[in-house]
Copies of this chain bind each other. A is one copy, B any other.
Amino acid sequence: MEKNIAVIWGDCSSPEIVKQTIRVLDKVAEKYGHTFNYTDAAMGGEAIDKYGDPLPQHELDKCLAADSVLLGAVGGPKWEGLPGEQRPEKGLLRLRAGMGLYSNNRPAKIWPQLAPASPLKPEIVAQGIDFIIVRELIGGVYFGKHETHTLENGEKQAIDSMPYSEHEIERIGRIGFETAQKRRKKLCCVDKANVLDTSRLWRSVMHRLQAEYPDVEYSEMFVDNCAMQIVKNPAQFDVIVTENMFGDILSDEASMITGSIGMIPSSSLGDGTRGLYEPIHGSAPDIAGRDIVNPTACILSAAMMLRYSFGMAEEADAIENAVNKVLDKGLRTADNMSEGCTCLGCTAMGDAILAEI
């Protein structure tokens, strides 16, 4: 097969991980007889520097013209002082919206080899951590109206609004149920229905959908309780579906309990097969240019792209198995080091994964 991939190299240490990921993709192409064509697209800090805009239309167009998009991570201290509209994150939000990517899939899965790095007690880790947060990505307070005005008494007031309509909830709700069907068949909808109208609308849509997925065990949980349960008993979760802001908070918490945030990929999809694939970690400005950043989450994001956008399950398995073998051999990057393991730099980790494919 021939596939066109738009590549957003990202900022700070991001190009280092993207470079290793492309080497891995090329190796897969060679081994399985595919052709991957890459088009560079600028977003975030790079785009601000080049065009004064974190995502100019011409760069978004490159992403829309591709079969899928690979992204490292954007942002860094250099761009932090800029006003809201011109910040790197704004480019990411506009990319998600511009590509219609309403479904963000964030796995929280512990690699047995890295279990000791989890901040949780071994007894809890031993019960298993393997769940997915399905986060709504282009609705809610991220995309509602934001306004700041001056009240009559002269003080300023800001108002952010959090809108959700039924079709936005239904499409992500279905992804939640369908994801659960392919796994342990448990779906938990997380919200704050004791306070928010949007949460109550979520529940009413979810109740309607529930009838269509009788094989899925469906439950509901308040977001504050969920923040506790993820730490107390993560084994209880299979698939969590939730709105944008809650998904942001809970998926970061969930990634941390795996102890290896440098290992966690993510996919963002919309109605078609074109997706955006990126590690959940940031651009790690503090270690940029030192060839020590962990490329694995980005490489695993590419594996997700092969699986979900290109239907290449075997190829995706090949990458994931390679990562597994590398871990089995005790090879680690600095972020994951533990006693008795060998510490590799970014390029050397890329080499090690390549060698197993």
Given contacts A119-B232, A195-B89, contact A161 B159 (CB under 8 A): yes
Q: Which 6 A-B pairs have the closest CB atoms?
A: A157-B165, A158-B197, A146-B197, A227-B253, A228-B256, A224-B252
Q: How far is the CB of A9 from chain B (nearest CB, A)?
A: 21
Q: A195 to B164, alpha carbons, bound, how many Å?
A: 17
By DSSP majority rule, is chain A's interface helix, strand, loop, or mixed? helix
Is there an interface contact between A84 and B200, defined as CB atoms closer than 8 Å? yes
Q: Decide if A166 is an interface residue (CB 8 Å cutoff).
A: yes
Identical chains in the assembly: 2
Which residues of B are found within 8 Å of A251, using beta-carbon distances? 224
Which residues of B are found within 8 Å of A192, using beta-carbon distances? 245, 248
Which residues of B are found within 8 Å of A162, using beta-carbon distances? 141, 159-162
Q: Decide if A52 is an interface residue (CB 8 Å cutoff).
A: no
Given contacts A119-B120, A195-B142, contact A157 B166 (CB under 8 A): yes
Known: A159-B162, A230-B253. 15 other contacts (CB 8 A): A87-B194, A119-B232, A120-B121, A121-B121, A158-B163, A158-B164, A158-B196, A158-B197, A158-B198, A159-B197, A224-B249, A227-B227, A227-B252, A227-B253, A231-B253
Q: A257 to B155, alpha carbons, bound, how many Å?
A: 39
Which residues of B are found within 8 Å of A252, using beta-carbon distances? 224-225, 227-228
Which residues of B are found within 8 Å of A250, using beta-carbon distances? 227
Which residues of B are found within 8 Å of A124, using beta-carbon distances? 119
Q: A196 to B146, alpha carbons, bound, how many Å?
A: 7
Q: A194 to B74, alpha carbons, bound, how many Å?
A: 13
